[in-house]
Amino acid sequence: MDEANVALRPATADDFWVFERQAVDPDAAGTFNWSGYRDVRATRRRFEENGLITPDGGCLVVEHDGTAAGTVVWRKVDYGPPAWWCWNIGISLLPDQRGKGVGTIAQKHLVAYLFDTTPVQRVEAYTDVENVAEQRALEKAGLTREGVLRATQFREGRWRDLVMYAIVRR
């Protein structure tokens, strides 16, 4: 896949069909991102207030060949005093965009964006231990597997283990 065919950009009002679909369609959210129906009105309120980008995190639209393919997000994670923090990232691609390498490139672009625009030293991501495709995508995007977080995500009626990945600024 050509990296030039995948881009990240701020959300626009025209993108709300993506957020609405991810909020109410389990297939659109994906097996590992679906944890029940969400109120998309809250996303619209945040969009109107701050464009879905704040000092503590944000959301960008993933474009593949000029079409909205999903979203990437980041949020600040504190590790002690206020000066010790990193970004935690995530991705949600629409079903027709999965398995093409779009996720790998989008997460690679997001890591580069965060290192280029913030003083962060570390970017991390979690994924379900059963989500082998995302584990491969994170590794291809340059993140290193660091370990397993036991019983940290509730999905499908039970607690699930997550694998932690991270990359540090060179």
Burial class of residue 69 in the structure, from the number of CB atoms within 10 Å of its CB (0-12 exposed, 13-18 middle, 19+ buried): buried
CATH number at residue 107: 3.40.630.30
98-151 pLDDT, tens per residue? 999 999 999 999 999 999 999 999 999 999 999 999 999 999 999 999 999 999
Separation of alpha carbons 50 and 28, rounded Å? 25
129 domain residue, yes or no: no
Interhelix angle 132-140/102-117, nearest 10 degrees: 50
What is the C-alpha to C-alpha distance for residues 5 and 42, in angstroms, rounded to an integer? Answer: 31
The answer to the question of residue 161 being in a domain is: no
Q: How is residue 4 written in tokens? A: 């030039």
Number of domains in the chain: 1
The answer to whether position 147 is within a domain reads no
pLDDT of res. 93: 97
Q: How many CB atoms lie within 10 A of CB 82?
A: 6
Residue 25 located in a structural domain: yes
Provide DSSP, 58-84.
EEEEEEETTEEEEEEEEEEEE-SSTT-
Looking at residue 52, its pLDDT comes to 97
Residue 46, in any domain of the structure: yes
Helix/strand/coil for 159: strand
Parent domain of 94: 3-120
Task: Tell me whether residue 164 is in a domain.
Answer: no
Quick check: 10 and 72 in contact, CB under 8 A?
Answer: no
Say yes or no to pLDDT of 27 above 90. Answer: yes
Residue-wise pLDDT for 50-82, tens only, equals: 999 999 999 999 999 999 999 999 999 999 887
Rounded to an integer, the average pLDDT of 4-19 is 96
**pLDDT confidence tier of residue 49, bands split at 50, 70 and 90:** very high
Quick one: pLDDT band at residue 153, thresholds 50, 70, 90? Answer: very high
